[in-house]
């Protein structure tokens, strides 16, 4: 164990079990104590500054301690902080739902509230199952999802996931869903080769749905980008085929926009790249720009109507969270939508995303350690070649080296990715990429 720990580090390690981390690793690399956030930057207890290049787990859209959001939180906390949402209504929730209908795909106009993404996924799966039960199709009890999918870490969400590091241990507990192959974008494929891959995957999807549609309640997708799989980008044409087939066979399409919604891919919601309208959409993360745990399930009137009945019929949807519809979270989300509208944020994302793509290619293309370079919206990923250093945890070491240089990245497998807050400047994009290049080459060359 390192001896020169601060008092806060000692206290943390004495009591805290950190998520998605091996606590023994902290014996060599103790957790940084962050005292303050300021725009793109995190500032530790010693005054060192770090560029937050993953938006603190993909949530922070407009920078830490954003003045506009801080202001509305102060106003709301002095008005109403929380109330049970089962019995009462309040202005921020009603206004938020109304404003969301203006930016969501057509048909999504009823809303259920949760407090995190995984729980929102659970809600969607349960709702789909109960819908079919109450509309004359009780045999529709199975779920379909994509290979390499990630939808959260609660038990139901794990069943539609396909990333072994999260699911393997819990397989005895999981109700496993069916998985389908995905046509991933790869810079090494020609247009003809990629079209052939799309055709194959769409054909396989069609065969699975035609054969199993009578028992399929829903299909759930991460639209366009699979984050936890290593920032894998796939075909909009395939996503359109998913929508067409699910609609044809009375299978709900659940669009998991938790990570990719709110502009991250260059559209307000990633499903817009395929021009589709899902039956349900899960939103969280950027919804509150990282300020407050809030998630929402957006559904159609058709789904809502399947639960609208006299109480004695037993068709209520009995799923709730203590912090459902919390006024603080709703007020923050309202301000997030206003910032998008007033500051023309989507235009900013696309301009900076184009620049990010150009700079990634300029800096990394042709390097001997690079397997692939990917980009969509303000997301960039470089995939390293397999077995660069067989006995080294390459991602962890890149993280350590970049952090020493003032850049916080958190590689996934062989992929080093960039998902910064939208307030990042062009000069900061340059620095982010150059530092990562230095860290990779210091480790691998």
Binding-site residue numbers are 57, 117-118, 150, 256, 285, 320-322, 410
Feature table: binding site for substrate: 57, 150, 285, 320, 410
Taking alpha carbons only, the member of 153, 219, 203 closest to residue 19 is: 153
Binding residues for pyridoxal 5'-phosphate are 117-118, 256, 321-322
* CA dist 130 → 62, 123, 126, 173 (Å): 38, 10, 6, 21
Alpha helix (H) residue ranges in 213-284: 236-248
In this structure, how many other beta carbons lie within 10 angstroms of the beta carbon of residue 244? 14
- How far are the Cα atoms of 126, 158, 252 from residue 173, in angstroms, in the given order? 17, 9, 24
Residue carrying the six token digits 């370079």:
373
Write the DSSP string, 371-402. EEEEEETTEEEEEEPTTSSTTS-HHHHHHHHH
Instruction: Name every residue whose Cβ is closer than 8 Å to that of residue 410 and which is 6 or more positions away in sequence.
Output: 54, 395, 399
What are the angstrom distances between the C-alpha of 266 and each of 218, 225, 269, 412? 27, 12, 8, 22
CA angle, corner 188, sides to 184 and 192, nearest 5?
75
Paired sense of beta strands 34-38 and 41-44, if any: antiparallel
Question: For residue 417, what are its two tokens?
Answer: 């990715």
Q: By CB neighbour count within 10 A (0-12 exposed, 13-18 middle, 19+ buried), where does 362 fall?
A: exposed
**382 alpha-carbon distance from chain centroid:** 18
CA-closest candidate to residue 225, choices 154, 150, 295, 161? 150
Name the strand (E) or helix (H) holding 347.
helix 345-364
């Amino acid at each position: 164990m390192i001896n020169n720990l601060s008092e806060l580090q000692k206290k943390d390690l004495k009591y805290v079990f950190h998520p998605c981390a091996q606590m023994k690793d902290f014996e060599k690399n103790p957790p940084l104590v962050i005292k303050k956030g300021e725009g793109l930057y995190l500032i530790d207890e010693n005054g060192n500054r770090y560029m937050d290049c993953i938006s603190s787990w993909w949530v922070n859209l407009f920078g830490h301690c954003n003045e506009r959001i801080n202001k509305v939180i102060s106003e709301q906390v002095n008005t109403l902080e929380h109330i049970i949402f089962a019995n009462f209504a309040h202005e921020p929730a009603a206004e938020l739902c109304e404003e969301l209908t203006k930016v969501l795909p057509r048909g999504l106009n009823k809303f259920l509230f949760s407090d995190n993404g995984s729980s929102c996924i659970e809600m969607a799966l349960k709702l789909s199952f109960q819908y079919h039960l109450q509309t004359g199709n009780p045999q529709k009890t199975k779920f379909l999802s994509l290979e390499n999918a990630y939808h959260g870490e609660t038990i139901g969400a794990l069943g539609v996931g396909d990333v072994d590091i999260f699911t393997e241990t819990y397989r005895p507990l999981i109700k496993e869903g069916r998985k389908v192959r995905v046509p991933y974008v790869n810079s090494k494929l020609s247009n003809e080769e990629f079209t052939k891959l799309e055709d194959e995957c769409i054909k396989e999807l069609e065969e699975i749905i035609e054969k199993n549609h009578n028992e399929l309640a829903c299909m759930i997708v991460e639209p366009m980008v699979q984050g936890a799989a290593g920032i894998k980008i796939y075909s909009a044409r395939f996503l359109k085929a998913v929508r067409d087939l699910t609609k044809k066979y009375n299978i709900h399409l659940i669009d998991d926009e938790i990570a990719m919604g709110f502009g991250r891919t260059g559209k307000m919601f990633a499903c817009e790249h395929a021009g589709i309208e899902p039956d349900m959409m899960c939103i969280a993360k950027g919804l509150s720009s990282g300020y407050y745990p809030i998630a929402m399930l957006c559904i159609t009137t058709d789904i809502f109507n399947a639960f609208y009945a006299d109480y004695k019929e037993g068709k209520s949807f009995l799923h709730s969270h203590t912090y459902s519809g919390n006024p603080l979270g709703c007020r923050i989300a309202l301000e997030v939508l206003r910032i998008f509208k007033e500051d023309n944020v989507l235009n900013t994302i696309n301009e900076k995303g184009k620049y990010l793509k150009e700079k990634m290619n300029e800096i990394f293309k042709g390097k001997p350690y690079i397997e692939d370079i990917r980009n969509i919206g303000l997301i960039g990923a470089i995939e390293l070649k397999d077995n660069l250093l067989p006995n080294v945890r390459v991602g962890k070491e890149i993280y350590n080296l970049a952090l020493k240089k003032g850049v916080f990245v958190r590689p996934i497998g062989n992929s080093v990715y960039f998902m910064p807050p939208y307030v990042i400047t062009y000069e900061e994009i340059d620095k982010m990429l150059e530092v990562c290049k230095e860290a990779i080459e210091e480790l691998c060359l």
